[in-house]
Amino acid sequence: MTGDPTDQRPELIDIERFFADPQFANPSISPDGTRIAYLAPHRGRRNVWVRGVDQTHDDAVPVTHDTRRGITTYYWTDDPRWLLYLQDTDGNEDWHLFRVDLDDPAAPAVDLTPLDPGSRALGAEPLPSVPGSVLVTMNRRPLFFDTFRIDVATGETTLHLEQDDPTAAVLLDRRGESVFHTVLAADGTVEISAIDPTGEKRPLRRLGGAEHPMGVYPQQVTADGKGLLVGSFQDGDDLRLVRIDHETGAETVVAAVDGHDLDIGGMMLPGVLPPPVHTYRRSGEIFAARFVADRPHIEVLDPQFAEIYAQLQKLSDGVLGTLSGDDSGQRWIATFVHDRDPGVTWFYDHTTGEARLLFRAYPDRDPNTLAPMQPVGFPARDGLPLHGYLTLPVGVEPRNLPLVLAVHGGPWHHDSWGYSPDAQFLANRGYAVLQVNFRGSLGHGKRHATAAIGEFARAMHDDLVDAVEWAVDRGYADPDRLGIYGGSYGGYAALVGVTVTPDRFAAAVDYVGVSDLANFLRTLPPFTRALSINNWYRYVGDPEIPEQEADMLARSPITMVDKIRTPLLVAQGANDVRVVRAESDNIVARLRERGVPVEYLVADDEGHGFENPENRIMLYRAIEQHFARYLGGRSADRSEPPSTD
């Protein structure tokens, strides 16, 4: 606590502690159930460690040794000798698949996908019919993602499936056989066909369009190869999990929760975020599905897992997050989503009933000093229901506080209940933090998603302003101390906030945000363009059509830069391939020409977001001082805030 006995605020948590890599993250169990892998610091970066299931971290061995950039995604193989992981170079997203030898963990990793610059590997899938191999999709041909079979031990690579249409996908069963074909039609609908043993395609279904801006997810062949699991709105407003039959095309609901969408957010970062559908490792059978709610909702679909789930629920007051089971389906590693205690991980053996805590991501952090995340709801000015989360600082009367509106990216993502480093950091510094799922955010129904068509810098921004007004009207927020902060689309939203409504916010932070919608679309990686029908082209426009380009420029902060008078902090990764550096360079240059206060951080070894701890610490130290100077929150740094020169 602070020195004043009447001050009930918790101590300021050091930025170095707050934004250090977690001590433990992304755990999983080996197929045979004897070992655990996870991420932990090693040589100054996140690396993969392995230990016996009954051992502690003191017995663990680091099996990767990256010193340049932390590792996020790794894979067990069916051979206990090998483990695989993905890595890019300084955030450029040109992912390569590497192999490490668990029998010789000190040996250098082997690159199984030595690709040319601009090409990338998209993960590794097991192929049970060919032991010792994995299927890897990569674009050796820059515009086409083909599937290759890689022999893990030798590295021998064989073309397994060539894709001739960048808008199409061939879906494989567990034997690696082609069983379904999907293609994105010119009108934005997804055409699903069955592939017969002769190779002939039989049309089965057409799904959606603009209500699936990120694509139809999931697209998962059932364990028996006779059905395809997809997310479908059918004739309603809720996204359901349905099965399309290979023979008849009949559509059967597998999981649905009235008033709630299937949560496809985990498809954006598989292995790190919880998936929409949980399946048994050996059989591939589905046993649970995840839905969006005030707190995420798990819909159990298998009686055997119902018994396991009942025991897992006893281990935490959070919500089940990622789940890794061995081949027997008896030994499990479970993480839990929690707003104040992230990354709590348990081991559970259903055969013996043994359950034990393995680790907490941040063992030195007291959850009781962190702030609860409260679900909130209110109507937009046109009546559209909006859902969000309010995080209030601990130990302070929740009245007339400085408030930061934290805007999520995408824009086709959504904020959900769970641990938010941004919200907790800002609340610890004395700010109320408001996160709102503005129109276009996924997870809140078809009407909510499609209400964003044509509404960049219009109704989408109105939703954010309405959210702030709700907080002011409720007395939570001081109308003269409002800040806006976000990354990617959230960075664009921050720039819109200080251009479209220049008098509303007292400070703003744009983190890898878009300033010029037309330039942003023109500089996206070329292979993304064929898949942009239902998102950027449908919701924003095509910059190659003059009248649409003119409209996009009218909604671009770069063309409204003369309206900016709000103090601004801009942060950018030099290697960002999604929002290129010019998006930040250009708006900073224009502001400096006018003498508007702007601080600019560029990380030369980062891409679309800062991953390395020293860069995160640099960023959040600047955010702390920026908001402290202009909104009046707490700061651990008593020195003069950084210069804006």
3-state secondary structure of 17: helix
Catalytic annotation present for 178: no
User: Is 136 in contact with 115 (CB distance < 8 Å)?
Assistant: no
The pairing of strands 598-603 and 568-573 is parallel
Q: What are phi and psi of 299, to 5 degrees?
A: -100, 110
Catalytic annotation present for 608: yes
- Name all contacts of 247-252 with Cβ < 8 Å and 24+ positions apart: 247/194, 249/194, 249/204, 249/205, 251/205
Annotated active-site residue in 422, 608, 626, 635:
608
User: Is 628 in contact with 426 (CB distance < 8 Å)?
Assistant: no
The two tokens of residue 232 are 């479908």
Q: What angle do CA 392, 398, 399 make, to 5 degrees?
A: 135
The two tokens of residue 184 are 């994105």
Q: Which residues contact 593 (CB under 8 A, 6 or more apart)?
A: none
Q: Which residues contact 97 (CB under 8 A, 6 or more apart)?
A: 84, 85, 86, 111, 112, 113, 121, 123, 124, 136, 150
Q: What are phi and psi of 45, to 5 degrees?
A: -140, 160
Catalytic annotation present for 576: yes
In angstroms, the Cα distances linking 575 to 59, 463, 518, 607 are: 37, 32, 20, 4
Helices (H), 429-539: 446-450, 459-473, 489-497, 517-522, 538-539
Whole-number CA gyration radius for the chain = 24
The two tokens of residue 463 are 């939703």
Annotated active-site residue in 576, 584, 626, 635:
576
Q: What angle do CA 51, 52, 58 make, to 5 degrees?
A: 50
Annotated active-site residue in 119, 178, 420, 488:
488
Q: What is the DSSP string of 277-327?
A: EEE-TTT--EEEEEE-SSS-EEEE--HHHHHHHHHHGGG-SSEEEEEEE-T
Q: Which residues contact 638 (CB under 8 A, 6 or more apart)?
A: none
The two tokens of residue 409 are 């990216």
Task: Report the first-to-last Cα separation within the chain, whole angstroms.
Answer: 36
3-state secondary structure of 75: strand
Annotated catalytic residues are 488, 576, 608
